[in-house]
Amino acid sequence: MNQAPASVWRRPVHFLAFGLGSGSVPFAPGTFGTLAAIPFYWLMSELPLGWYLGLVAVTFFWGIWLCDKTSRDLGVHDHSGIVWDEFVGYWLTMAAVPFSWEAALWGFVVFRVFDVFKPWPIRWADRRVAGGFGIMIDDILAAVYAWSTMHLWFWLH
């Protein structure tokens, strides 16, 4: 476990990469980062789908820079407290899912399962892709699995 550096509270780039500070918790920072993304999903869920997806795309590409910059500043590739990737991954998981607290919770659980267990090719990308893109892409892949699971679930029920 990596301790959150003091710069999280002094440098806006680090504060954002650490999910508005949610990644600074001493245990399960990815889980807390994903939880912190839920209120933003609640706000974003009212957007038309095109705007929602556009916002997720912007936060993904911005996240590449944000996570890379913070990782380089800290001298640790993919510091456990960098959770911006969990924010974006959760938001992608919830794309085109009408907001309800049940759906938000179900999306949280499904995304965390794929993010933690990392089935192929998530684990491969996590181990072999470097830099900010590498930090972001494994969570995007987990989100694709989670999104597919969510939509299959809703389609079947």
Question: Could you report the per-residue pLDDT of 104-142, keeping only the tens digit for each?
Answer: 999 999 999 999 999 999 999 999 999 999 999 999 999
- Residue 108 to residues 49, 70, 74, 92, 113: CA-CA distances in angstroms? 20, 25, 28, 11, 9
- pLDDT tens for 41-99 read 999 999 999 999 999 999 999 999 999 999 999 988 889 999 999 999 999 999 999 89
Rounded to two decimals, the pTM is 0.94
